[in-house]
Amino acid sequence: MSLLPTLTVKPLLYAIAVLALSLLLSNLGWWAHDSSLGLQRDMADASRDVAVANLRVANTEKQVWKNKSDELALANLAGQKTIGTLQLELKAAQGEKRRLQAEGERAIAAAQAAVADADRTLKDFIDRYARQLSNPDCAGALNVVQRACPALEGY
């Protein structure tokens, strides 16, 4: 063999081996990179699925709160209607109280007038009785009546 093929074939074989080894290492690198990209894609898909599930949960919670808000709004309307009814009843009861109070005051005034009239009548009777006691004929008649009916004594 000649020196030229020996000098060129061996380095060429080494160069081909180095290139093949670098190609193999490059393919291994790209395979590892593809695997990591696949993992990243799977993680992104899982994150997206979690985000979609969280969105559904948030939408469900939002709907629940809207329903609760609607229920509270209805309860508020019912409360306002009840308050309105109670205010009308209160006004009616206050009017009735004023009417009864005025009627009671009139009844008290009538009773006081009747008491005053009875007091005047009694005073007139006592005054006439006292005047008649000074009349000897009337005093004697009263003594006879008191002896005949002791229950009338003291009048």
**What is the rounded end-to-end Cα distance, in angstroms, of the chain?**
179
**pLDDT tens string 5-57:** 666 778 888 889 999 999 999 999 898 888 888 888 889 999 999 999 999 99
Please state, rounded to an integer, the average pLDDT across all residues of the chain: 88
Q: Which domain holds residue 44?
A: 3-152
132 close to 138: Cβ distance less than 8 angstroms:
yes
Locate 66 and state its tokens: 């809207």
Number of domains in the chain: 1
Distance CA 90, CA 77 (A): 20
Q: What pLDDT band is residue 137 in, cutting at 50, 70 and 90?
A: confident
How far is Cα 28 from Cα 33, in angstroms, rounded to an integer? 8
If you search the block for the tokens 């004697």, which residue do you land on?
A: 140
pLDDT value at 1 more than 60 = no
- Provide long-range contacts, Cβ within 8 A and 24+ apart, for 138-146: none
Angle between helices 3-134 and 136-148 (to 10 degrees): 120
**pLDDT surpasses 70 at 2:** no
Give the other-Cβ count within 10 Å of 119's Cβ. Answer: 10
Q: What letter represents residue 60's amino acid?
A: T
The residues, any chain, with a CB within 8 Å of residue 142's CB and separated by 6 or more, are 132, 133
In order of 3, 44, 61, 77, 93, the CA distances from 71 in angstroms are 100, 40, 15, 10, 32
- Can you give the pLDDT at residue 12? 85
**Residue 89: which pLDDT band, with cuts at 50, 70 and 90?**
very high
Helix (H) or strand (E) holding 60: helix 3-134
Mean pLDDT value across residues 132-150: 75
